[in-house]
């Protein structure tokens, strides 16, 4: 078991460290989450360990495999073990029993999808690496309406105005100083304007298009 200290905001467990699982784990880490990476393959665990909060070798088909994982502390569990239906089922059931609020599972076919839905997975996906990155972003930054990569560092996102921002304007909120973001447009009543008045108070239902360094995204969603 290898652990790297970091100040965390949300916690996720990833079962299965294939291409999809690894891409989800690394994207969640970049977004500021606390990631527990789990696989029965020692080499895969060792390989990802430097890039996540904790990496542990566990065989999900073993009876007491989940006893020490602390799943009850997780905000979400992602199960990507498509090569072993039994392991996927046991991981999902353990997460449900622990009271995990959100469980995402990867499926390889319609039959597996039906089974995983029946045992309690909240969302089923079937993609590989690129899909894994998108799903990780959706998991952590669910209040984001859209998400674009402008460069390796800079992201452009459209985000719903937070409840605590309603009735306040850009000058009062100091979003650039507090969240390291630049507001480039405002969408109100379906209309998008790039000439955003800094004295205009936000309303419920407004969204803003912003640019932000990816290392600050975790702060924006906290």
DSSP H helices, the chain, are 19-30, 42-48, 85-97, 110-118, 129-140, 170-173, 175-179, 217-220
Please list the residues that pair with 155 across neighbouring strands: 149, 212
**Model pLDDT, residue 73:** 93
Could you give the maximum distance between any two Cα atoms of the chain, in Å? 60
Q: If 0-12 CB within 10 Å is exposed, 13-18 middle and 19+ buried, where does residue 126 land? A: middle
Q: What are phi and psi of 15, to 5 degrees?
A: -100, 115
Task: Catalogue all structural domains in the chain, each as residue range(s) with its CATH number.
Answer: 2-140 (3.40.50.720), 144-220 (3.30.70.1450)
Residue 133: its pLDDT value, please?
A: 58
8 Å CB contact between 180 and 193: no
pLDDT at 4: 41
Q: Residue 101 pairs with which residues in a beta bridge?
A: none
pLDDT of residue 123: 87
Quickly list DSSP for 51-82. GSSEEEE--TTSTTTTTTS-GGG-SEEEE--T
What is the spatial distance between Cα 153 and Cα 34, in angstroms, rounded to a whole number?
20
150-183: string of b/e by CB count within 10 Å (b at 16+)? eeeeebbbbbbbeeebeeeebeebebeeebbbeb
Per-residue pLDDT of the chain (222 residues; tens, 9 = 90+): 444 434 447 899 999 999 889 988 988 888 788 999 999 999 999 999 999 999 999 999 987 899 999 999 999 999 999 889 999 999 999 999 999 999 999 998 888 988 998 888 988 887 654 455 566 666 655 555 455 666 667 777 788 888 899 999 999 998 888 878 888 889 898 888 888 899 999 999 998 888 888 777 766 655
pTM: 0.63
Among 146, 140, 175, CA closest to 159: 146
Q: Distance between CA atoms of 54 and 5, rounded to whole angstroms? A: 9
């Amino acid at each position: 078991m290898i652990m790297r200290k970091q100040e965390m905001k949300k916690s996720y467990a990833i079962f299965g460290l294939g291409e999809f699982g690894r891409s989800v784990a690394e994207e969640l880490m970049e977004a500021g989450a606390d990631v527990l990476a789990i696989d029965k393959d020692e080499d895969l665990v060792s390989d990802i360990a430097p890039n996540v909060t904790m990496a542990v070798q566990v065989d999900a088909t073993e009876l007491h495999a989940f006893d020490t994982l602390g799943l009850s502390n997780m905000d979400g569990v992602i199960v990507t073990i498509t090569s072993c239906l039994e392991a996927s089922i046991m991981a999902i059931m353990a997460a449900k029993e622990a009271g995990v609020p959100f469980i995402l599972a990867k499926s390889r076919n319609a039959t597996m999808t039906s089974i995983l839905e029946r045992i309690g997975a909240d969302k089923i996906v079937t993609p590989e690496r690129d899909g894994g990155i998108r799903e990780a972003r959706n998991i952590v930054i669910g209040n984001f309406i859209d998400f674009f990569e402008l460069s390796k560092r800079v992201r452009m996102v459209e985000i719903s105005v937070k409840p605590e921002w309603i009735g306040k304007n850009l000058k009062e909120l100091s979003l650039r100083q507090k969240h390291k973001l630049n507001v480039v447009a405002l969408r109100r009543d379906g209309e998008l304007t790039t000439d955003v008045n800094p004295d205009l108070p936000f309303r419920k239902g407004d969204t803003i298009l912003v640019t932000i360094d990816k290392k600050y995204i975790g702060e924006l969603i906290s």
